Structure 1
């Protein structure tokens, strides 16, 4: 039986060490990843910017991170700022100043030279919808007097000889105003409200009406009959305020029956009308009532109208609110109350700073507004015991509320037509 020889064990030939074996042959390595030397990765520009943000910068050399935002995105962000904070935000940079100019919708112009250059007003505020040109239309004195004269919403600097100067010398020339109105009309076609002094020519007003087709509210100072000849060109006009003169600032002839008739035939879509220190009579108010059938609110301030004008209110069939402000007299001779008529749709009667010493006139006014639901007497004079008793003309259920605000002297006579009586 042949003997078995032990099979010799195969001896493996050692191969040459590779880089891993040469690197880790000295000792056992459990965490290989920490033994591999890694070169530092280059930082991205975004990481470098945030790392640099942690380092202090000298004053005035800090980077502007809003430069990464587009103008439209920054405009949406800045539009959420309150109006009181936008003026201070304009001082951040020229870009913020330009973008915030696109947000502004209303502007009161104080210096007419800002309007003469199209690259200033139009480029700075391209989205204006409400512009007031009245303060800038009055010529500033040379040299400056350092005195500010305020009458209502208007503030001007009078010259040292203000009392002896003529009224025409206070306003800018007509050609200057015409040129400014043309620039404004071309640059701001989306205007909805415009306030100006009526020294402009008829062609300039028609240019504004042609370019600014969406204009709905117009305020004319130092208005006369002739300045209303172009009023019919404003086809979409709904709110109109006519100021004949401002006491202490400038005198004026005002608007008469001729101007009121032109207004009535030219603005038949009026909803609100205010006549301040204007003249007129029964004929002018009647023309407005017959032609302006959509008129809902009428305000008469410190009027110069002839006796009997109040009878024309009966033709205002859709009138809902009647305001009499600062009237020294309501109507000298309203006539027989049996022939006055009434305003069937009127709901609110507001008398503020008026002289109510004539019981006959107040009775005629309440007969005209016998269907009124709310009467407000504010800062009025002469409303004594007998005068206040005339409110019983407006019987229940029409009269729902009677407010007495800051009256000088009041004695109340009970009436079952009063639901609310307040003294403030």
Structure 2
């Protein structure tokens, strides 16, 4: 039997469902709410909670009883559910999962985004997965959640023009897109009319489609102050889109992984625009080749603080190559590097 003092020491509580479960297997919401009521009563010092299928009433109970709650993850979340977190005055990390294709569906729209913006003004990190909404909802978050430093957008269903709302997130430092079939719908508006995120330092895109040039230009203009750009397994990222990254003039770190359409020449053109570049990582990008390394690009490599170069499994050019120069495009540098590697192994 638990003593009351034992229960109040509880700081983390989560419920994990088997991946084979589908919507009919979820517990009834009244059962979830009763559990949340018991949890709130027994664990007033609760700091982290992950829950599926909660209601407004159940979350309101937790918010009122657990004033120290800082980290909340809501699956199968909807606009009405978000009314229950308005009393979470100390909430700093929030993950909302609305719709998951083939698993469950729920709608988080501008209504829900505005509710959370007005009630959770101390948010530092926000993740929106499978959520709807538009410019208005994102703008509300930017205006109300002025402490927000990290925003993660996963598999979103947002309306055209939502991207421009990010310019209201004045203290945002990290912006991540994960598994998004699109960044914005068609034309989000002229890039020159976009505001910027002045504090933004990191832009990451993972498993996203980025083939639309107008959207890409708007994104890079919005993120013009970034110091770090990461592309990982993004389809549609060709030279015409990647070249637009030159709008970001202060980049110090760039990473390309699984981006098979970008060529060596385009990579060179872009990174030569970045006068502050310090680190470069290239992995599994089959159209970036050793033989296409120019003397200019080699010279730049020698100035980098960090270099990871593995564009394909045949590449002979490795991280330790930084600091070595070549006299002509490609060949002699690679031969020199291979020879030095052989001499090192023979010592």
TM-score normalised over the length of structure 1: 0.62
1:130 deviates by 1.5
- Trace 1:51-130 onto structure 2 (pairs within 5 A): 119=1, 127-130=9-12
Distance 2:16 2:213 in 1: 39
1:122 deviates by 7.7
SS in 1 for 2:195: coil
Q: Which has the larger radius of gyration?
A: 1
Please say if residues 280 and 305 of structure 1, whose CA atoms lie closer than 8 Å, have aligned partners that are also in contact.
yes
1:211 deviates by 2.0
* CA RMSD of superposed structures (Å): 1.9
Distance 2:260 2:153 in 1: 22
Question: Structure 1's 403 and 254: CA in aligned 2 closer, same or farther, altered over 3 A?
Answer: same
Question: Structure 1's 122 and 328: CA in aligned 2 closer, same or farther, altered over 3 A?
Answer: farther
Aligned to 1:196: 51
Aligned to 1:308: 161
1:392 deviates by 1.0
Give CA-to-partner distance per residue, 1:53-82, whole Å, 9 cap, x none: xxxxxxxxxxxxxxxxxxxxxxxxxxxxxx
Aligned to 2:34: 179
1:188 deviates by 1.9
Aligned to 2:145: 292
Please say if residues 122 and 184 of structure 1, whose CA atoms lie closer than 8 Å, have aligned partners that are also in contact.
no
Aligned to 1:79: none
Please say if residues 276 and 303 of structure 1, whose CA atoms lie closer than 8 Å, have aligned partners that are also in contact.
yes
SS in 1 for 2:151: strand
1:239 deviates by 0.7
Question: Structure 1's 121 and 170: CA in aligned 2 closer, same or farther, altered over 3 A?
Answer: farther
TM-score normalised over the length of structure 2: 0.75
5+ unaligned residues in a row in structure 2: which ranges? 284-347
Question: Structure 1's 295 and 128: CA in aligned 2 closer, same or farther, altered over 3 A?
Answer: same
Give CA-to-partner distance per residue, 1:356-405, whole Å, 9 cap, x none: 1112211110000001000000111111222221111111xx11111112
Q: Which one of the candidate residues 125, 128, 147 is aligned to 1:275?
A: 128
Aligned to 1:259: 112
Distance 2:150 2:20 in 1: 34
Aligned to 2:253: 401
Question: Structure 1's 124 and 265: CA in aligned 2 closer, same or farther, altered over 3 A?
Answer: closer
5+ unaligned residues in a row in structure 1: which ranges? 1-118, 136-154
Aligned to 1:30: none
Give CA-to-partner distance per residue, 1:98-150, whole Å, 9 cap, x none: xxxxxxxxxxxxxxxxxxxxx47989876331211252xxxxxxxxxxxxxxx
Please say if residues 194 and 219 of structure 1, whose CA atoms lie closer than 8 Å, have aligned partners that are also in contact.
yes
- Trace 1:342-381 onto structure 2 (pairs within 5 A): 342-381=196-235
1:296 deviates by 0.7
